[in-house]
Chain A
């Protein structure tokens, strides 16, 4: 999916009309703490622990100091002795509190390490690739194990997203659109929900080089969400990538099946309306032309001269059928012929040809032959049905005439 010109206009509108970060609650980027399983790195829980226990430990320390000072003030001349005694008494009183705080710190530490383990388990077992992108559009250290597998990268952490995407995407236009989209997502004023609909990587075809020198085509779906941390430096974009190849191929097949169903119904109507004699003559001519075209391709020789000669030969053979198909009302046939004609014309404009260039021609020729065979089979069924219905009508006529003759005889 690529951004269309009107989408770019929408992007401009979003930038212009973007609401304030602290304004509307639903449409703007909220400053919210990321879930610990996603944004929390291994260093985060101890830091939280230090923050929570630090202020609490200051209170007893101050209490000890204050108690000691008051006792010292009460003892007057024996200030140092009183200070020590006061300190000892206050410390003894505060010892249970200190022990409780120590216990609490241990519990929090255990919880923090458990959360760290859970985070590692989640990131290790996620089927989707999960990663965080910083303001410099680099992938952070936190990413799920599947990220590397899905993107065919040994270690995605720390890489620039541009470098990750460039080898996967076929065109620079999509890459540029993706980077613009992410930069826009970083914009505090932008409407996040509106931007999401413009994600150029929501479904994208990628190709991975395989070990045999070929390439493997897959479909990936990327989703991005801005996550606001406690501070501006903690902000990040949460990225999710999933392999949706099976889903996309299934959808394509379904689309193809629906299109074929429609075209079959149209073809049936066209064949019912067609002149049977003209139709059979056309199908015979087409069959001859297809066989001749295939025979031209079968002849030996792979030199450039041979290849061009055969190309022109096939083009000539099919030209005659194209003219005949245009004269008859067979849109599906004419469409297929036009497709092969366009292909051959494109090849004839090439400066150099290889045998591989003819592969699409042969596949389309095969499709044409199959289509002609289907037309012939349907036509034969129509002919049989017409003959059967004519025979039935004749039988009805005969029976009714017999009845007319028999009725007066019965009366007499």
Chain B
């Protein structure tokens, strides 16, 4: 299965989450490579670890302000730290579910985890350049990072 198809599945998964759960579509920015340095992570980060024929991580990272507005759009008034973590975890869960459905014959997808700014740094597969896909929503910007070894 081509990398293009695999990354496309994750991008569509995030886009569909914004359309269905938040009821406001997001726009996919121009993807680029994180060369010689790890991609910057925002306030809240959901991580999906992949193992099997390909090892790697898929990361959704978003600033606190964006997540708060997303919750408000979902008619949720609880903007606590735990609730923001849950929201990012839900997006990671969506990514994980779509990966399991599309690539179940190729690799296994671990349970998602959520990290907050200041937690232990994220470790990417060695000698790989993560693909960073900016996700623009209203005036905010999140990032989807896909890093799979070959």
Residues of A within 8 A of B (CB): 210, 212-214, 216-217, 245-246, 249, 291, 294, 297-298, 302, 307, 310, 354-356, 358-360, 362-363, 365-366, 369-370
Q: How far is the CB of A218 from chain B (nearest CB, A)?
A: 10
Q: Report whether B30 and A216 are in contact in the complex, using a CB–CB cutoff of 8 Å.
A: no
Closest chain A residue, CB of each to CB of B136: A302
Is B31's CB under 8 angstroms from A358's CB?
A: yes
A-facing residues in B85-131 (Cβ within 8 Å): 94, 98, 101-102, 105-106, 129, 131
State the Cβ distance, A259 to closest chain B Cβ, in Å: 14
With A359-B4, A369-B129 already in contact, the answer to whether A212 and B98 are too (CB < 8 A) is yes
The residue from B32, B102, B105 contacting A297, defined by CB atoms under 8 A apart: B32
**Cβ–Cβ < 8 Å partners of B129 in chain A:** 366, 369
Task: List the A side residues contacting B32 at CB < 8 Å.
Answer: 294, 297-298, 362
Q: Mark B13-33, 1 if CB is under 8 A from A, else 0.
A: 100100110000001111111
Once the chains bind, are A363 and B7 in contact (CB under 8 Å)?
yes
What would be 12 A-B contacts, judged by CB atoms less than 8 Å apart?
Answer: A212-B16, A214-B98, A216-B102, A217-B5, A356-B8, A358-B30, A359-B31, A359-B133, A363-B3, A363-B131, A366-B129, A369-B33
* Chain A interface, DSSP helix/strand/loop, else mixed: helix
B133 A355 Cβ-Cβ under 8 A: yes
- A212 contacts which chain B residues (CB < 8 A)? 12-13, 16, 20, 94, 98
New A-B contacts (6) at CB < 8 Å, excluding given A249-B106, A302-B29, A355-B27:
A213-B12, A216-B102, A294-B33, A355-B30, A359-B7, A359-B31
Quick one: closest B residue to A360, CB to CB? B4
Q: Is the CB of A366 within 8 A of B33?
A: yes
Q: Is B66 an interface residue (CB 8 A)?
A: no
- By CB atoms of chain B within 10 A, which of A210, A216, A294, A359 has the most? A359
How far, in whole Å, are A365 and B94 apart by their CA atoms in the complex?
28
CA distance A356 to B106 in the complex (A): 24
